[in-house]
Every structure is written in structure tokens, then in C-alpha cells.
Amino acid sequence: MASAPPTAANMGADLKDTAAPQTKYKPCCVCTDQKAKRDECMLFSTSNDPQKECADLVSQYKTCMAGYGFKI
């Protein structure tokens, strides 16, 4: 018995999704190294303006989080 000729309605019927399922990450579990460095800098800074002193580390953390789809 022959199968039906290909049409727009049945051409993708036998195709399976071969893409790997995307992993859903939690914000607490990603960029832990950058987060630890940022927190250490902010908490133990001897500067009068820790935000200014640690701006580079904060930027690195934000960039890392953006890589996982989180907007800070």
C-alpha cells in the first residue's frame, strides 16, 4: 500500500523535533563566581564609594546574567 503523495498538510508529519530542550535556569544558580566577587567587593570595600569601585564587577555580573536571559 503506497503512502499519500506529499502535500503542504502532511510534509512535516513524520518530522520529530531534534532540538535539545532548553534548560530553564534559576537566577540564584547561575553566575555564582561573578556574584561572589561582586558581593565581596561591595561588602568589604574600604572606599568611600563602593558602587564606583565595584562598577566593573557589577557590569560583569549583569553581562553574565543577560547571557542566561535575565534582565537586571
pTM: 0.66
The pair phi, psi for residue 3, each rounded to 5°, is -80, 165
**DSSP sequence for 13-35:** TT----SPPPPPPPGGGSSHHHH
Q: In angstroms, rounded to a whole number, what is the distance separating the alpha carbons of residues 61 and 32?
A: 9
Q: What is the pLDDT of residue 56?
A: 97
pLDDT at 33: 97
Query: Which amino acid, residue 65?
Result: M
- Of 65, 53, 56, the closest CA to residue 28 belongs to 65
Per-residue pLDDT of the chain (72 residues; tens, 9 = 90+): 556 676 766 666 555 555 556 688 999 999 999 999 999 999 999 999 999 999 999 999 999 999 999 998
Cell of 51: 558602587
pLDDT at 72: 86
If you search the block for the grid coordinates 499519500, which residue do you land on? 4
